[in-house]
Amino acid sequence: MDKFVVRGGNPLLGTIKVSGAKNSALPCMAAAILTEDEVILENIPQVQDIETERKLLTSMGAEVELGYGRAQHRTHIKCAILSDPVAKYEIVKTMRASSLVLGPLIARTGIARVAMPGGCAIGGRPIDLHINGLEAMGATITQDHGYLEARADRLKGAHIVFDKITVTGTEDLLMAATLAEGESIFENCAREPEVTDLAALLIAMGAKIEGAGTGTIRIQGVAKLHGARHRINPDRIEAGTFLIAGAITGGDLNVDCCEPKHLGALISKLEQCGVKIDVGADHVRVRSGGELKAADITTEEYPGFPTDMQAQYMALATQAEGTSTVIENIFENRFMHVQELIRMGANITISGRTATVRGKTPLQSAAVMCSDLRASASLVLAALVADGETILDRVYHLDRGYEHFEEKLRGVGAQIRRMGDVFGRK
Ligand code: UD1
């Protein structure tokens, strides 16, 4: 298993580029299932989850050509024949987003067999809302040996009010509804930019969708979708991670190729912390003299403060003067970075869904363990300001979602390198 070795102390200076959003790319790749024509996606990030999705689609009979190195990271997907509409456990066990193929598979082929998903260990993470929605659209769903099997001759449009806001649930049902018979109205939908990005692709494929990005989405089902070309949005979580990297190290960092409109909640929080922010059309410059003030956050659905930035923000809070309260509203078990931050010298207490961070505490290097994707990023951020050399184990969690993370950080002055396992294990 690869490790990162990080020596703290350098302010990050210069320009760092943001890649395409993993969480947009995953549903957009799944959307290719809905047509037998070719779908071309640009700005697909080179991360492990995308490789997992490539394997998943290929195992079903699709042709997928990931165009890394080529201009725009252009990826071609053609699902002309889906000979085996099964998402096998061996492939999906590391990635919860594999439940995204459920809706498009049943809509296109009338049958889907999907292993119950794995992914980040941040809470129970059920998919009952996906299942209830597909049943409301006329699918029959059974479960056996860890697999869900869904069947329907043709899905029917339905009026669905989500009990709870779910990002991939909204995306899954949105894809299913594009080929359903009649109209679907979904309420209490996720408004995340990734939903809007997916809807833009689906509309380019011939789907009739109104209201994506709002709480209510209307879809008129069509008989067939066709191929399309689409560029994936910049990754707002990667951009946010870099903004915090600039702020925590007392740097001057230009986070380029991002969409500042998607970063509103984080930017205003950083400003409360005393960080200077300049927003351009597609870049955000972050400057900090190293003097940070505490500020509280509560994670919420978009446009609130993203749960996917909570762990990184917590690293920053350890370096702010005063007490910051961090409330995690979305997932019940998303404080796994806390124990590791404490081992590095942070003063954090947890009570239920609330973490209280008392700063500023000097951080010391230590051997730490990455537990999930965003927790890994949090530990790298802490290591960038720690005294000495921190060794981060299990960085495969980070590789699921950050493209060339260490190279990008090295390019702006971080001392970070990857160390392969002496036994060659992955
Ligand atoms: C997506 C993102 C993930 C992010 C999360 C919240 C992708 C691939 N992943 O995950 O990075 O952290 O949104 O912004 O886009 N829930 C249910 N039943 C369901 C589905 C969800 O109870 O059927 C609950 C979850 O347990 C959680 C909440 O709803 O408490 C939100 O989860 P959801 O928005 O579905 O997260 P994901 O789509 O899995």
Domains of the chain, CATH where assigned = 3-19+235-419 (3.65.10.10), 22-231 (3.65.10.10)
370 carries an active-site annotation:
no
State if residue 330 touches ligand 1 by the CB under 6 angstroms criterion.
yes
State if residue 353 touches ligand 1 by the CB under 6 angstroms criterion.
no
How far, CA to CA in Å, does 360 sit from each of 198, 248, 363?
41, 11, 9
How far, CA to CA in Å, does 47 sit from each of 51, 54, 73, 228, 421?
7, 11, 12, 23, 19
| Cβ neighbours around 278 below 10 Å, total | 11
Identify the residue whose tokens are 């700005």: 43
CA-nearest residue, atom 25 of ligand 1: 125
Residue 425, class by beta-carbon neighbours within 10 Å (0-12 exposed, 13-18 middle, 19+ buried)?
exposed
Nearest-angstrom CA–CA distance, 79 and 369 = 39
Nearest-angstrom CA–CA distance, 261 and 213 = 13
- Residue 125: its pLDDT value, please? 65
Q: Choose which residue among 166, 194, 309, 331 to substitute to test ligand 1 binding: the one with the highest number of ligand atoms within 8 A of its C-beta.
A: 166
Q: How many CA atoms lie within 13 A of 28 on its CB side?
A: 36
The SS3 call for residue 337 is helix
DSSP 246: H
Model pTM above 0.75: yes
Mean pLDDT by 10 residues, the chain (426 residues): 95 98 98 98 94 95 84 88 92 84 96 76 74 97 90 97 97 98 98 98 98 98 98 98 98 98 98 98 93 97 98 98 97 93 97 97 95 96 97 95 96 95 47
Q: Is 275 left (phi over 0), alpha (psi -120 to 50) or beta?
A: beta
Catalytic residue among 79, 120, 189, 258: 120
State if residue 400 touches ligand 1 by the CB under 6 angstroms criterion.
no
Nearest-angstrom CA–CA distance, 119 and 22 = 14
Q: How many CA atoms lie within 13 A of 329 on its CB side?
A: 13
Q: Which residues are annotated as a binding site for UDP-N-acetyl-alpha-D-glucosamine?
A: 96, 125-129, 308, 330
- 8 Å CB contact between 5 and 414: no
Beta pairing partners, 417: 5
> Measured in angstroms, how far is the CA atom of residue 145 from the centroid of ligand 1?
23
State if residue 125 touches ligand 1 by the CB under 6 angstroms criterion.
yes
The answer for residues whose C-beta is within 8 angstroms of residue 126's C-beta and 6 or more apart is: none
- Residue 425: its pLDDT value, please? 42
- Residue 424: its pLDDT value, please? 44
Q: Choose which residue among 135, 167, 173, 376 to substitute to test ligand 1 binding: the one with the highest number of ligand atoms within 8 A of its C-beta.
A: 167
CA-nearest residue, atom 17 of ligand 1: 126
State if residue 299 touches ligand 1 by the CB under 6 angstroms criterion.
no
State if residue 172 touches ligand 1 by the CB under 6 angstroms criterion.
no
Q: Which of 193, 304, 312 is nearest to 248 (CA)?
A: 312
How far, CA to CA in Å, does 150 sit from each of 81, 109, 132?
19, 10, 11
DSSP 342: H
Q: Which residues are annotated as a binding site?
A: 22-23, 96, 125-129, 308, 330
CA-nearest residue, atom 35 of ligand 1: 166
- Residue 10: its pLDDT value, please? 96
Q: Is 154 left (phi over 0), alpha (psi -120 to 50) or beta?
A: beta
